[in-house]
Amino acid sequence: MTAIRLLLVDDDPLVRAGLALMMGGAGDIEIVGEGADGDEVETLVDRTHPDVVLMDIRMPSVDGLTATERLRARADAPQVVVLTTFHADEQVLHALRAGAAGFVLKDTPPAEIVAAVRRVAAGEPVLSPAVTRQLMAHAAGARADTRQARARDRLAALNDREREVAVEVGRGLANAEIATGLFMSVATVKTHVSRILAKLGLNNRVQIALLAYDAGLLEE
């Protein structure tokens, strides 16, 4: 089995050392590089070709949010998991909208961080339904009406079946659960999800969930 190539980016050398230690114990993960600031990320990615970047949000020169946006705008970009100390942080929401596949808390048990890297490498977002709802609720604010109108305009590109699948993704359901609820095969659900991502120019299921929430579909 090919090892998952992992790039660590955090301005705290002790945090990097701890992450390297815990990841080094996983036989299917290879640490291919380390960085101390967001301004190093693109150069490190070009040099090391990681599958996943585990990236801190707060860094001195270029923060993890800006680095994630720049990285995910590139063709064939690696997946990004952001590191944070707060599970209801507006910056985390910003990172997810920028294309991060999810986030982990810095005090998350080592086994769960390793599992998160594996999941992201396999194309699964690292975000539980409960945390997704919490982040979405945190995003609600004075600009909700404008955000809803824009989200609905974007979702107008979907057909009825794709819209149904988008709503179920927004509710945090896995493909198998969506298939059961909408009476279709798992393969068909995967096809619909792929089409939704392509039509809307999104990177992952988390962004589908956020867009469905912004459009008010989860309340209907």
Count of CB atoms situated within 10 Å of the CB of 144:
12
Alpha-carbon torsion, ordered 20, 21, 23, 24, to 10 deg? 100
Residues 110-114: what's their mean pLDDT? 87
The pLDDT value given to residue 142: 42
pLDDT exceeds cutoff 70 at 86 = no
The pLDDT of residue 134 is above 90: no
Q: Around 74, how many Cα atoms within 13 Å sit in the side-chain half-sphere?
A: 15
Could you tell me the pLDDT band of residue 91, with boundaries at 50, 70 and 90?
A: low
| pLDDT band at residue 76 using 50, 70 and 90 as cut-offs | confident
pLDDT confidence tier of residue 27, bands split at 50, 70 and 90? confident
Closest CA to 104 of 28, 10, 36: 10
Q: What are 115-130's pLDDT values in tens digits?
A: 889 988 887 777 655 5
pLDDT at 144 over 80: no
pLDDT for residue 36 is more than 90: yes
Instruction: With a cut of 60, say whether residue 170 has pLDDT above it.
Output: yes
